[in-house]
Amino acid sequence: MNDQNIKRVVIAGGGTSGWMAGAILSQQLGKVLDITLVESEDIATVGVGESTVPPMRALNRLLGLDEQEFMRETAATFKLAIWFENWRKIGERYIHPFGTNGQPTWACDFHHYWLHSLKLGLDSGLGDYCLEWVAADKGRFETSPQSDINFAYHVDAALYARFLRKLAEKNGLKRIEGKIRSVDQNATTGYIESLTLESGQAVEGDLFLDCTGFRGLLIEQALNTGFEDWTHWLLNDTAIALQTENVAPVQPYTSAIAHEAGWRWNIPLQHRTGNGWVFSSRHMSVDEATSRLLAAVDGKPTRDPWTVKIRTGRRRKVWNKNCIALGLSSGFVEPLESTSIHMIMSTAIRLMHFFPHSGIDQSVVDRFNAEARQEIESIRDFIILHYNTTERDDTAYWRYCKNMEIPDTLKSRIELFKSSAYAFQETRELFRIDSWTHVMLGQGMMPRDYHPAARSIPDEQLLTYLNKFKDTIAQRVTAMPTHQEFLDRYCPANRDVWGVLKV
């Protein structure tokens, strides 16, 4: 296919991955491509990816979305941070915010100056110098077109897919209802030529996007691409999901609360709360996990809990022949840092950059796969960091995490930070220097030394500056409304969509 123009794109599967890919491609290339999405209403989607990271805001701008409309239609809330409890030790907590710490200089990052201030006797936390950290801690939020606050969203996954579907179909995407019976390949090249549905209809295409979830109907079952398993680093293989009524004002953060065999999430939406119990089935049964989750939640369940089996790892090729995997079919780290929707977005945007209009060239495919691998492996390392740097030894699960061999890429990062407080972000990495710094410090890693530039400022001048910076942030946050008050004013959930404005 290196000389065949790509004009027909077929997306296998809907859900968040299928409709996100469809929305991006149809909005950007709908005038030059014939885009078809095949999905069956009889096949349930995972539907628990409800927490996002800040780059989603860039996607919304790319798609020309109005933020208030988007939030009303998906009952969305704002997200400033992730709140971690019981990860380093039982009873301890820390916040991973989305904002910038203080004011860095050309010589070194801000946290070096903060570390030096501790030596001078200043009693403050690094988060005191981050607007998003303080706002999350106080449950406050406000934004405007002029605001510099950095945030993401909590969204209802099912309604987000529905919202994107309307956008994609408006831009010319065609949807076909039906289950895929077979993936039809060229006998010589192995390239996919069509999908045959149970109705007998054949859906032909030049390029196929696999959005069929963990089963990887095209990328794996048809093309035998192979899978690199990461369960020796990331033990959790099961999640119990549960939706409950809201019983308190919603907070602008996701909660990740560790337990003896994993962790549980709490994701506040306008009309309900998403809850989940993530665990290793080698260390806890489904029955026990379900019982523990039901006992832990505050609100009344709005539906029965359901079980999701997960497998951590990556597809050896995201792009194989004329098939590109998106979402769960391409790989999965785990939901801890809310990266699933981001990975769908980044893969779809990468496809935009590398789109093979004049035919599939192997050099393009190789570069695409190399970038995809770098991205998911850096996310993998960031997630492993939370587990391996624990001080917990109360269960076999945590003892394994604490003592396991970790990737060399992560090992060198940890040693670098421990020795000199140096943190970095590679070109294609999602998580910034501030993210690595907050999690490493939150997990108890106190560097042995820091950059000498932090000692070059007179002590009194440094302390005066830090106190003023801290007070300025505190004053800004005090002037903000609560998160709930801002939601009620800015983007109340659409009653026509939900049936109720708020439960």
Main-chain dihedrals φ then ψ at residue 132, nearest 5 degrees: -65, -35
Q: Residues of 389-405 as b/e, b for ≥16 C-beta within 10 angstroms? A: bbebeeeebbebbeeee
Cα torsion angle, 215, 237, 55, 151, sign: positive
- Estimate the crossing angle of helix 131-138 against helix 459-478, to 10 degrees: 40
Helix (H) or strand (E) holding 414: helix 408-420
Which DSSP string do the residues of 474-486 spell out, in sequence order? Answer: HHHHHTSPBHHHH
Q: Which tokens in the block code for residue 175?
A: 């949807």
Q: Given CA atoms 426, 429, 432, 436 in this order, what sign does their dihedral have?
A: negative
Question: Would residue 228 be called left, alpha or beta, if left means φ above 0 and alpha means ψ between -120 and 50 degrees?
Answer: beta
Helix, strand or coil, per DSSP, at residue 202: strand
Q: For residue 14, report the phi and psi dihedrals to the nearest 5 degrees.
A: -105, -120
Q: Please enumerate in sequence order all residues whose Cβ is within 8 A of that of 161, keeping only pairs 6 or more positions apart, or say none.
A: 14, 15, 16, 18, 19, 20, 45
Whole-number Å distance between alpha carbons of 27 and 6: 17
Q: 31, 79, 89, 179: which is the annotated catalytic residue?
A: 79
- Which among 57, 161, 189 is positioned nearest to 497, based on CA atoms? 161
**Please, how many CA atoms are within 13 Å of residue 333, restricted to the half-sphere of its CB?**
23
Q: Does the CA dihedral 10-16-21-22 come out positive or negative?
A: positive
Which residue's entry shows tokens 């309900």?
A: 272
Tokens encoding 201 = 């209809």
In the annotation, is 470 catalytic? no
Catalytic residues: 79
